[in-house]
Amino acid sequence: RNFVSFFVLEAFLDVGLVKYLVFLFIMCFYVLTLFSNLLLIVVICVNRTLHEPMYLFLVSLFVNELYGSSGLFPLILVQVLSDSHIVSAPLCFLQIFCLYMYVNVEFYTLAVMSYDRYLAICRPLQYGAQMRAGKVALLLAVSWLLPVVVITVMTSLTVSLRLCGNVLDTLYCNNYSVVNLACSDTTTNNIYGLVYTFLVLAGLTVLIVFSYLKILKVCFSSSAQTRQKAASTCVPHLASLLNFSFGCFFEIAQSRVRMGGVPAALRIILSMYFVTCQPLFNPVLYGLNLTKIRVICRNLLFHGP
C-alpha cells in the first residue's frame, strides 16, 4: 500500500517574477504545438490525396504529440507559477502513465514508419499489396493498444510499492524516480522493465536499423531519382527519430546518472527539451519537407496558389 499522498517536485528553481515570463514562454510553446499538430491532422484528414499509409502514420504521430503535450504541459505550467511545487499522488501517477504512454506510442509509430518507408523504397511493386488498409489499421492499433497494456501494468506495479519518501528531484513525475523512493521490494518492477526493454524496445530498434540499412543499400545502387524520392521522405523521419532519441537519452541520463556537477538551469532545459521539442519539431519538420503537405498548408493559411 502506498502511504504517500503527495510528491514534491524539487527541480523547479525559485526565480521570482521571472516565473511569469517562463510561464508565457511555455504557454506560447504549448499553443504553437496544439495549432501546428491540429492543422496537419485536419489537412491530412480532409484531403483524399493524402489518404496514403505514410500520411496516416503521420496522423497517428501528430495525435500522439497532442496527447503527450496535453498530458504534460498543463501540470508544468501550474508548477511554474506555484511556490510549493506539490503534486498529489494520483495526479503524479497519472502523469507517469501519460508520459510513458506518449514515449512508447512515439517510438512504436516511428518504427512502423521506418518499415513503411522500407517497403515503399525497397519493394515498390509490392507496396500496394503489402500495405493494404487492413494492415495499416492493424499496425496503428498495435502502436496504441500495446503501450496501453504495457504502461498500465508498469504503473500498477509502481502504485503498489510502499514509498518511504516523497521528494522527486525532477520537473515532472517519472517512474524511475518514484520507484527509487520505495522501501519495499522492487525486483518485480526491475525485471518487468528489463524484459520489456530487451524484448520489445530492442526489437523495434532492430527493425528501424534493418529498414534503413536496406534503404541505404537500394539508394546506393539506384538512380538519382530514386535517391531523391527516398531522401524526401526518409530525411524528415530520420531527423524526427534522432531528435526523439536525443531527448530520451538526456532524460535517461538525468534520472540514472548523478549530475551534481551539472548546473540546475541546464538540467531544467534538458528536461524541457524532452517534453517540448518533439511535439513541435515533428509538425514543423514534416510540414516543411513534404511537398504535398506544404502546398496544401500554404493554400489553406494564405489562400494562395
pLDDT given at position 172: 87
Which DSSP symbol is given to 163? B
pLDDT given at position 259: 58
- Tell me: the pLDDT tens digits for 280-299? 888 888 877 777 777 777 77
Domain of residue 149: give its range.
6-302
- Whether residue 53 is contained in a domain is answered as yes
- Tell me: the pLDDT tens digits for 181-203? 988 889 999 999 888 888 888 88
CATH code for the domain of 208? 1.20.1070.10
- Whether residue 269 is contained in a domain is answered as yes
- Whether residue 80 is contained in a domain is answered as yes
Domain count, the chain: 1
pLDDT given at position 301: 67
- Tell me: the pLDDT tens digits for 125-165? 888 888 999 999 999 999 999 999 999 999 999 999 998 88
Contacts of 123 (CB under 8 A, 6+ apart): 130
- Whether residue 83 is contained in a domain is answered as yes
Report how far Cα 246 is from the mean position of its chain's Cα atoms.
Answer: 11
- Average pLDDT of the residues in 100-111: 93
The Cβ of residue 298 has, within 10 Å, a number of other Cβ atoms equal to 13
- Whether residue 1 is contained in a domain is answered as no
- Tell me: the pLDDT tens digits for 165-180? 889 888 888 898 899 8
Half-sphere exposure of 278 (CA within 13 A, CB side): 34
H or E element, residue 252: helix 224-256
Please, which pLDDT band fits residue 305 given cuts at 50, 70 and 90? very low
Q: Which residue has the cell 496514403?
A: 52
Mean pLDDT of the chain: 85
CA distance 88 to 172: 12
CA distance 236 to 55: 13
* Closest to 271 in 3D by CA, of 255, 251, 257, 252: 251
- Whether residue 277 is contained in a domain is answered as yes
Strand boundaries in the chain, DSSP class E: 6-9, 86-88, 167-168
Contacts of 135 (CB under 8 A, 6+ apart): none
Packing angle of the helix pair 89-122, 133-159 (nearest 10 deg): 150
- Tell me: the pLDDT tens digits for 200-253? 888 888 999 999 888 888 887 777 777 777 777 788 888 899 989 888 888 777
pLDDT given at position 57: 94
- Tell me: the pLDDT tens digits for 61-88? 999 999 999 888 888 888 888 878 899 9
Burial class (CB in 10 A: 0-12, 13-18, 19+), 203: exposed
Q: ∠ CA 59-127-142 to the nearest 5 degrees?
A: 45
H or E element, residue 265: helix 264-289
- Average pLDDT of the residues in 13-17: 75
pLDDT given at position 260: 56
